[in-house]
Amino acid sequence: LNKPELKHFLKTQDYTRKDLENILELMGMLKEARKANAVPQLFKGKSVAMIFEQPSTRTRVSFETAATILGGHGLFLSPKDIHLGAKESLSDTGRVLSRMCDVILARVDDHKTVAGLAEHASVPVINGLCDWLHPTQMMADLFTMMEHLPEGKKMDDLTVAFVGDATNVCSDLMFCCTKFGMHFKHIGPKKYQAPQMWQDIAAENCETYGGRLTVTDDINEVEGCDILVADSFYWFGQEAEKEERLATFIPHYVITEELMAKAGENAMFMHCLPANDQRECTREVMDGPRSVIFDEAENRLTAQMALLVYLTHKHIEEPTAEIL
Ligand code: CP
């Protein structure tokens, strides 16, 4: 592996395409090793402190399992379990956890919390989802796209349409897809489209890496896309807007079999999950032959194994099989 310049994993934008490709390569090796029941104990004797301000199935289970498979341990810390935000500052929490654990993972309501922990921690801090980003999900998504590349296509050839609200998954996919030279489309009602700041970041990626960005409310833009992506129409803290949001998105921006057919007969369906079937997508699409949602979920584990190794083995220079 190339030595990471940055010790934290807060934003995919902090990493070059080459850095992310190195992590993807490591994911491939570790996934193979797991299949062979021969995962090297590269996190042996180490622990990851896992702070969760919000519920989680995939992120929690994948990190805890990844740490265990690699010979280490994950500690689940909900707001009820620790003093963070009540009796103890971010600074003291980051410094204390750094004295005992080797990695800190935090799923937070506000990006400032995970950034604050990183500022004071002396061990790598991983963003396990915040209000505008979901970087560990991105590693799983990019890897799943690679695993399911249409015949004869490269990552740069893909057109990915994210249909719905400008969520944290939408923003991060916008950044990652344009970084990998893809055409990324955000298709959603004007009120819920990606803000200009995100579009500016993606535009910079397009300039550097050759991607393309389209932001539109025209659902017909799914035509010819390789991948359709859905996400929730509302999230924690947006419950008061629920009715208005559902009325705006449904039925126009729901991924149905008809919409998949409009995209094309080989189009894939992705969703980070949890999904609310019959809202942002139908059960038929989720369980259909072009859905890769459970591969995508499994690859959360693949990603977390690689991230724990990548962030704690800065001396590894090349992603060769010898490191395993
Ligand atoms: N996709 C995702 O982050 O799932 P969880 O909320 O279950 O962790």
Residue 324: is its pLDDT beyond 90? no
Interface pTM, i.e. ipTM: 0.99
- CA proximity to 160, closest of 143, 145, 138, 139: 145
Q: How far is the CA of 294 from the centre of ligand 1 (A)?
A: 12
Phi-psi region of 37 (alpha: psi -120 to 50; beta: other; left: phi over 0): left
| pLDDT of 238 | 85
- CA proximity to 21, closest of 323, 318, 322: 318
Q: How far is the CA of 237 from the centre of ligand 1 (A)?
A: 16
| pLDDT of 322 | 53
| 1 — pLDDT class (breaks 50, 70, 90) | very low
Ligand 1 proximity of 272 Cβ (cutoff 6 Å): yes
**Amino acid code (one letter) for 45:** G
Per-residue H/E/C for the chain: CCCCCCCCECCHHHCCHHHHHHHHHHHHHHHHHHHCCCCCCCCCCCEEEEEECCCCCHHHHHHHHHHHHCCCEEEEECCCCCCECCCECHHHHHHHHHHHCCEEEEECCCHHHHHHHHHHCCCCEEECCCCCCCHHHHHHHHHHHHHCCCCCCCHHHCEEEEECCCCHHHHHHHHHHHHCCCEEEEECCHHHCCCHHHHHHHHHHHHHHCCEEEEECCHHHHCCCCEEEECCCCCCCCHHHHHHHHHHHCCCCCECHHHHHHHCCCCEEEECCCCCECCCECHHHHCCCCECHHHHHHHHHHHHHHHHHHHHCCCCCCCCHHHC
pTM of the model: 0.94
Q: From the candidates 231, 245, 271, 304, give the one annotated as an active-site residue.
A: 231
Q: From the candidates 107, 183, 186, 290, give the one annotated as an active-site residue.
A: 107
Ligand 1 proximity of 129 Cβ (cutoff 6 Å): yes
Q: How far is the CA of 57 from the centre of ligand 1 (A)?
A: 6
Instruction: Name the CATH topology of 149-291.
Output: Rossmann fold (3.40.50)
Residue 5: is its pLDDT beyond 70? no
In sequence order, what are the residues at sequence separation of 6 or more whose Cβ sits closer than 8 angstroms to the Cβ of residue 141?
173, 176, 270, 272, 296, 299
Of 255 and 236, the structure prediction assigns the larger pLDDT to: 255
Q: What is the mean pLDDT of residues 11-39?
A: 96
* Residue 300: active-site member: yes
Tell me the pLDDT tens digit for each residue of 293-311: 999 999 999 999 999 999 9
| pLDDT of 105 | 98
159-163 and 183-187 as β-strands: parallel, antiparallel, unpaired? parallel
Tell me the pLDDT tens digit for each residue of 145-159: 999 999 999 999 999
| pLDDT of 278 | 76
Q: In the block, which residue shows the tokens 């090297």?
A: 40
| pLDDT of 235 | 84
Q: What is the mean pLDDT of residues 37-49?
A: 97
How far is the C-alpha of 233 from the C-alpha of 230, rounded, in Å? 9
Distance spanning both ends of the chain, measured CA to CA: 12
| 173 — pLDDT class (breaks 50, 70, 90) | very high
* Residue 170: active-site member: no
Residue 6: is its pLDDT beyond 80? no
The full set of domain ranges for the chain reads 12-133+300-323, 149-291
In sequence order, what are the residues at sequence separation of 6 or more whose Cβ sits closer than 8 angstroms to the Cβ of residue 55?
none
Average per-residue pLDDT for the chain: 94
Tell me the pLDDT tens digit for each residue of 245-289: 999 999 999 999 999 999 999 999 999 999 987 799 999 999 999
* Residue 193: active-site member: no
Least confident span in 11-15, 95-99, 300-304, 316-320: 316-320
| 316 — pLDDT class (breaks 50, 70, 90) | low
Whether 149-291 and 12-133+300-323 are alike in CATH topology: the answer is: yes
Tell me the pLDDT tens digit for each residue of 101-124: 999 999 999 999 999 999 999 999
* Domain 12-133+300-323, CATH: 3.40.50.1370
Q: How far is the CA of 255 from the centre of ligand 1 (A)?
A: 20
| 216 — pLDDT class (breaks 50, 70, 90) | very high
- For the beta carbon of residue 149, count every other beta carbon within 10 angstroms: 14
- CA proximity to 95, closest of 83, 109, 107, 86: 83
| pLDDT of 317 | 42
From atom 7 of ligand 1, which residue's Cα is the shortest distance away?
57
| pLDDT of 315 | 53
Least confident span in 42-51, 241-250, 315-324: 315-324
How far is the C-alpha of 25 from the C-alpha of 188, rounded, in Å? 33
* Residue 134: active-site member: yes
Q: From the candidates 101, 225, 272, 281, give the one annotated as an active-site residue.
A: 272
